[in-house]
Amino acid sequence: MSIRLKITTKNVRDYFFLEKLTPEKPSFLFKCSIEEYNDYLFHDAIRSLKDHIAKTWLLCEHKTGKIAAYMSLIMDAIKLSMTEKELHGLNYPFKTIPAMKIAKLAVDGGFSERYKGIGSFMINAAIGKAFDCNEDYCAARFLTVDADIEHDKGVLVFYEKNGFTPNAELSNKNRKTISMRKDLYK
C-alpha cells in the first residue's frame, strides 16, 4: 500500500482548489462509498442552489479538475440546554442559537485512498465560510452537522476529532444521525 499524502491548510493549494458548484461544472465523475451522497451531488445540489436551500462547495484537483470532495452549507439554529448555554458562556433568553450547518460532506473514494485529511480540510473550509459570513452578513456562533451514523458508524469519531460535540437537546437513540456542534469562538 502506498503512503497517503496528508492534506493540510498549508499545502492544500498545491493540489486542490475550492469552488462553488455551478450548473456548468460536471459532477458525474464523483464517487464516494455512500450512494445517497453521490445522488445528492448528481441530482439535488443544483436544484438546492437554485432554490436557495444550500450552497455546495467543491474541492477540485488542480491536475485533473476532478472533484475530490464536496460540502453543502446551509444556515441553521440549534437548541441548547441551559447547561450547554452555560458551557459556552451564552446567557441569552433565546431558545435557539444561530449556526451554519454542514448539510452534506463527502470525499471521493479514489482521493481518500491517495490523500488523508481531506474531510478535515473541508470542515476548516466551512469554518472559514462561517467566519466570512459573520464578518460581513449575519451571525453564526456554531458550525453544526447531523453526523450520519446510519451509513458510517465511525463518523462520530471523525467529527469529535475535529472539535464537534453532540447536542444534548437533540439526542435520541433511535435517530439515524447525531446532531453535533462546534463553537466557532472557543
Min mean pLDDT across 62-66, 79-83, 100-104, 132-136 is at: 79-83
| Distance, CA of 186 to CA of 79 (rounded, Å) | 18
Task: Please state, in angstroms and rounded to a whole number, the distance separating the CA atoms of residues 104 and 58.
Answer: 11
Cell numbers linked to 134: 459573520
**Could you give the CA distance from residue 40 to residue 17 in angstroms, rounded to a whole number?**
21
What is the percent of the chain where pLDDT is above 90?
80
Instruction: Locate the domains of the chain by residue range.
Output: 5-183
DSSP code of residue 4: P
Q: What is the dihedral of CA 142, 149, 104, 70, to 10 degrees?
A: 110
> Which class is 5-183 in CATH?
alpha beta
Q: What is the pLDDT of residues 79-93, one digit of tens each?
A: 988 888 999 999 998
Confidence bin at 171 (pLDDT 50/70/90): low
Neighbours of 96 (CB within 10 A): 12
Burial of 147 (0-12, 13-18, 19+ CB in 10 A): buried
